Amino acid sequence: MAKMNMLHAINSALDITMQEHPQACVFGEDVGYFGGVFRATSGLQEKYGKHRVFNTPLTEQGILGFANGLAAFGAPALAEIQFADYIFPAFDQIVNESAKFRYRSGNEFNVGNLTIRTPYGGGIAGGLYHSQSPEAYFAHTPGLKIVVPRNPYQAKGLLRACIKDDNPVIFFEPKRLYRASTGEVPEEDYSIELGKAEVVQQGTDVTLLAWGAQMEIVEQTAKQASEQGISCEVIDLRSILPWDVETIAKSVTKTGRLIVSHEAPITNGFGAEIAATIQQECFLHLESPIMRVCGLDTPYPLALEKEYVPDALKVMAAIKQSMDF
Amino acid sequence: MSNPNNVSLNINHDLTFIDGHALTIPTLSILTEDGDIHPSATAPDISKNTAIKLYETMRFIRLLDERMQGAQRQGRVSFYMQCLGEEAAVTASAAALDQDDMIMAQYREQAALHYRGFTLDQFMNQMFSNELDLGKGRQMPIHYGSKELNYMTISSPLGTQIPQATGYAYGQKVKHIDAKSGELESPIDNVTICYFGEGAASEGDFHAGLNMAAVHKAPVIFFARNNGYAISTPADEQFKGDGIASRGVGYGIKTIRVDGSDALAVFAATQKAREIASTHGEPVLIESIAYRLGAHSTSDDPSGYRSKDEEANHKVCPIDKFKKWLIKQDWLNEEDDAKAKEAIREDILAALKRAEKVQKPALEALISDVYDTPIPSLVRQYDDLKAHIKQHPDAYPITAGRIK
């Protein structure tokens, strides 16, 4: 074990992959010598050469098109989109190509070797073009997997699982926690199973569900709630697609209450899918309506970020409302 | 004055703009319309076997196209796209490649696939989306693909294969780069060819794909089929400058323009392009000029946007031109050719009837291959659907009888 921040953990997962497969390539804007805008790929070019770790021209569409081709060839394609806000020029390549490669070809070809890494979310004073959480757009597309880690241990284990998974995966990295979140991480290889949520804290009164950077907020709220005598079960969804209905339903059957929190705007956010499914699964066990504490239906703001984000106070208000229903 | 990377400065003192049409790229032509070699041209080194196979492929595709165009009009298949007028461009380029080179096509390159060995029945099974279709009945007719033949399955969105071809070709190259020195050990054993029309060259993917191929030196042959029309939009409403070839030059890619109705010119250009790509590990652009004699697809009617006179002016048949050369070589005669055509027509009709009778894919094809294994939500949905179909078998006659 070693103490690592999330960037070190991600770098370690990439390093293991590069060692493992002689044709694996890491590429994206500025990822070469510079190591990426957040330095997640630092040191890899020196180790594996310019032909395997390289800067691309500034073309997200090109990065994903190239990545689809490289993955179809059979080489692990580890593509970085510098900010999730800039993934949209690559939308067609991801949604129409990566996601459908296997299906449309009858499995003659597939891009299971593709992993897309991209920093998402707010909290870095990035305003509307450096703070978005676009996971729900991709969660509407069959054929993709979507994963979000909450800390360095999760980041390494989940990223390795994404890379080994034989499907194209988008790995959203909570950029606010890149350096802020540190912890013990094994230096050797390990994987965390995709599609499984983690019950981070057991509780009996209300289930709090979140992912990525928002986990820090709900964990903090759970602590405050417990001081007020409310027992929260805290769950990290980890995989947005496929998502672990069973674990959530089991928890909500026990607690009778569910609050989902995410940074993305509330309307058609992934919380909506969770609420719809869980009300169907747990209807007779619910003590109050499923609630969502999310971003507003506005672009992500700059100056009024504190007002916009679903913080602990807002989650606490929802807990009280749910308990008093 | 600084010299930004990768720009050669040629200082002058006149305020001069370079005209957007200043670059005029010549067009390679080897065969005359009478099937002779142009006096100043050199015929490529092509064996009798290759030349005959090339011709037979063009002949087959012309007959298949005619029959399937008719089958679409009869309502037997939902959609079709002909290669009419571009047979030489597609077939001769495929003939100049290695069988294991990857082909990433747009949609009108069925001749390249047949040249590789895709059988008549395989064509039919795809078009009738029956259970023998390699694509499991998921895409519209003409979206062929075959891993065995290194022919990437066609995707409907236009131009998406262009940056993918760059990535695929880069993969072909990476294993030839020495890990310690970073030097390329050439020749690269296999390269990628990427076909697209001049319309697709307007998509962002084209620019992204060419730029990345140039910068990262991917061994890909970009084959632009400039056939004068993108659906109904004439090329002069599609782009300015000197064709698609000038864009290749702009991206720093070795470029050639060929007469796409001239099988020998296309063969020679592609053979050379392959040599450049595999030896130097870099991209090449070929622009083929061959008028699209047919409609864009069966959903299109060219009489609405171009005159009969215009079409008549372009009635150069690439197949006849090559046939004349073969006859002069004494490699073919009219009598055998006529007999073969008759036999192919009969084969096509028989295969069409066979494919029509093969059953549709089983229900399982609905959920397989979305992921490597179906995810839990998909399994639940599939179980619900099966139960529903069992309750209402008459409403779902294609699958009801086969549900286990």
- Of B174, B190, B112, nearest in space to B146 by CA: B112
Domain check: are B288 and B389 in the same one?
A: no
Are A94 and A9 part of one and the same domain? Answer: yes
Positions of chain B with pLDDT under 70: 1-2
The pLDDT of residue B155 is 97
pTM above 0.95, yes or no: yes
Closest CA to A111 of A179, A168, A181: A168
Residues B388 and B244 in one domain: no
Q: Give which of A50, A66, A103 to mutate to test B binding, by max B Cβ within 10 Å.
A: A66
Could you tell me which residues are beta bridge partners of residue B257?
Answer: B27, B287
Are B41 and B144 in a shared domain?
yes
Shortest Cα distance, chain A CAs vs residue B282, angstroms = 14
| B225 and B185 part of one domain | yes
Print the domain residue range for B74.
Answer: 27-356
**Does residue B305 carry a catalytic annotation?**
yes
Question: Chain B 102-121, CB below 8 Å of chain A: which residues?
Answer: 102, 104
Number of domains comprising chain A? 2
pLDDT in tens, B126-147: 999 999 999 999 999 999 999 9
B371 lies within 8 A of chain A by CB = yes
In a domain, A254, yes or no: yes
Pick from A185, A210, A229: which residue ends a domain? A185
Residue numbers in chain A where pLDDT is lower than 50: none
| B377, B319: one domain | no
pLDDT the model gives residue B35: 95
pLDDT at B2: 55
Q: Are B289 and B386 found together in one domain?
A: no
Torsion of CA A290, A293, A295, A297, to 10 degrees: 40
Pairing of strands B192-197, A206-210: unpaired
| Interface subset of B 214-273, CB within 8 angstroms of A | 215-216
Query: Is A157 in the same domain as A270?
Result: no
The whole-angstrom distance between B91's CA and the closest CA on chain A is 23
CA A207, A212, A218 angle in degrees (round to 5)? 35
Same domain? For A38 and A95 the reply is yes
According to the model, what pLDDT value does residue B202 have? 96
Q: Determine, yes or no, domain membership for A192.
A: no
Instruction: Confirm whether A191 is domain-assigned.
Output: no
Q: Indicate if B351 and B367 belong to the same structural domain.
A: no
Q: Which of B354, B353, B299, B343 is nearest to B72 (CA)?
A: B299
- Name which of A25, A56, A105, A248 to mutate to probe chain B: the one with the most chain B Cβ atoms within 10 A of its Cβ: A105
Q: Are residues A240 and A94 in the same domain?
A: no
Q: What is the distance in angstroms between the CA of the first residue and the CA of the last residue of chain A?
A: 46
pLDDT of residue B70: 95
What is the per-residue pLDDT across B302-325, written as a single tens digit (0 to 9) for each?
888 888 888 888 778 999 999 999
Number of domains present in the structure of chain B: 2
Q: Would B14 be classed as within a structural domain?
A: no
CA–CA dist A263, A300 (Å, integer): 9
**DSSP state, A311?**
-
Of A214, A81, A196, A220, which is closest to residue A150 (Cα–Cα)?
A214
Tokens of A144: 């993709």
pLDDT of residue A2: 95
Tokens of A85: 């806000």
In this structure, the answer to whether residues A17 and A157 fall within a common structural domain is: yes
Is residue A240 domain-shared with residue A286, that is, in the same domain? yes
B372 with A70: Cβ contact below 8 A: no
Q: How many other CB atoms are found less than 10 A from the CB of residue A94?
A: 27
Q: Do residue A218 and residue A301 come from a single domain?
A: yes
What pLDDT, on the 0 to 100 scale, is given for residue B311? 83
Domain span at residue A286?
198-324
Our measurement of the distance from residue A31's CA atom to the centroid of its chain's CA atoms, rounded to an integer in Å, reads 20
Q: Is residue B15 one of the residues assigned to a domain?
A: no
> What is the model's pLDDT at position A173?
98
Q: Give pLDDT tens digits for A167-184.
A: 999 999 999 999 999 999
Judge if A126 and A42 occupy the same domain.
yes
Catalytic annotation on A130? yes
Give me the pLDDT at residue A211, please: 98
pLDDT the model gives residue B292: 87
Within-domain flag for B370 = yes
Interface TM-score (ipTM) > 0.90: yes
pLDDT of the residue at B309: 85
Q: Is B5 within a domain?
A: no
